[in-house]
Each structure stands twice: as structure tokens, then as C-alpha cells.
Structure 1
Amino acid sequence: MREGYETFIMVWTKREITVSWQANWLNSGHCHIELRCDERLPVTETGYRSHFVPQGSFADEVAVAAFVTKWLDEAADDKVWQAYLVDSRQLKLF
């Protein structure tokens, strides 16, 4: 665990995501959120994403989890993500 960060695990569409967040990252007035997942997510092809939002947006882990869930749900509507899901269900010969 990194100093100054709170970390929790959440599950979104059967994907386990480690969420780390710091309320006032480097006294910048912004909250820093990091997502780590072994699988691709609609907000990152690599499974890692760093994101900043204005400080004060979140009071606790529940609020961060709600934000991340909404963020992922909205991004999952993207045509690229939907195409990825369809393609990932197909068997590949090569």
C-alpha cells in the first residue's frame, strides 16, 4: 500500500479492480484515483488508469466506488468497448 492512499477492491462485471485513492494528492486540490485490473476495462486497454478529480468530490470509499462504477458503466456504452466484448467472445484460430 502506498503512503497517503486508501485502497479497496471492487468487482465490476466480474472484473476485480483494485482502486487506490488519495483525497488531496500532493496538496494539489485534486483527488487522485488509480484503477488496476488484470483485464482490460472500458477506460483503459492495459488495466491501469490514473485519474484526477477536484478535491472534495468524495467523502469516503463508498463515494469513490460509486464514482468508479458510474465512470465504467458510462464508458461501457462506447462502441469500441462493445465491439471488444463481442470480439473477445469469439474463438480465435490464429
Structure 2
Amino acid sequence: MEPQTYRLRWQGIEIEVTYTPQKWGVIAHLEIRSVAPAGTPLPITSTGYRSHFHQPGTIEALGGDVVAQVIAWLDEEAAKPEWQQHAAASRQGELF
């Protein structure tokens, strides 16, 4: 199956998601990267890029909306204390 590419904006960050429902005939693949600003950390990656392999049909079993599922994943991870601390430090600016 051909890769599908999506763009979304999450908390002011433009993100590109490429979803391949079946890669190599055996696995599904999500590539998530922050593109504006490029390389901006996300709750699922400190580098702004995440490659995630999973069972084929997982996204489809959850309704098939790739963007909604990526946003839900980001929101879930953003609720964790580690990301909350990072977000607070980013807003405040670090002195040291």
C-alpha cells in the first residue's frame, strides 16, 4: 500500500505524518516529524522525528483517522510530567 502523507498543527507546531498501512508486506509504519519550526521537540520525541512500527490494521481498527490518532497520542504524552516540565521551561526560557 502506498504511503499517505498528512499535515497538522499541534500546539503551534506544524507536523508532517507519513502513514504506510503495510510496509514490506508485514508491518505498518508511522513517521512523525515537526516541520515548522523544523526539529521542534514533541512529547513523543526530543528530536522532532519519530519512526513507529505497529501491527497492520491498528489505525483502521480505531476508526482510520490518522491525524486524530496522532493528535491523541501527542495529547496523551503531553499530559505527562516530563513534557509539562519541558513545556514550562520552554515558555519561561532557561537561564542556565
Aligned length: 89
RMSD value over aligned CA atoms? 1.8
1:74 corresponding residue in structure 2: 76
1:87 corresponding residue in structure 2: 89
Distance in 2 (CA, whole Å) between partners of 1:41 and 1:20 is 16
* Residue 49 of structure 1 pairs with residue 50 of structure 2: yes
Q: SS of the residue aligned with 2:2? A: coil
Q: SS of the residue aligned with 1:42? A: coil
1:20 corresponding residue in structure 2: 18
Q: Which structure 2 residues correspond to residues 29-44 of structure 1 after superposition, within 5 A?
A: 30-37=27-34, 38=38, 39-44=40-45
Q: SS of the residue aligned with 1:35? A: strand
Q: SS of the residue aligned with 1:18? A: strand
TM-score (norm 1): 0.84
The 10-residue stretch of structure 1 (66-75 or 49-58) with the greater mean CA deviation from structure 2: 49-58
Distance in 1 (CA, whole Å) between partners of 2:84 and 2:94 is 18
Q: SS of the residue aligned with 2:52? A: strand
Return the offset for 1:56: 1.4
TM-score (norm 2): 0.82
Q: Which runs of 5+ in 1 are unaligned?
A: none
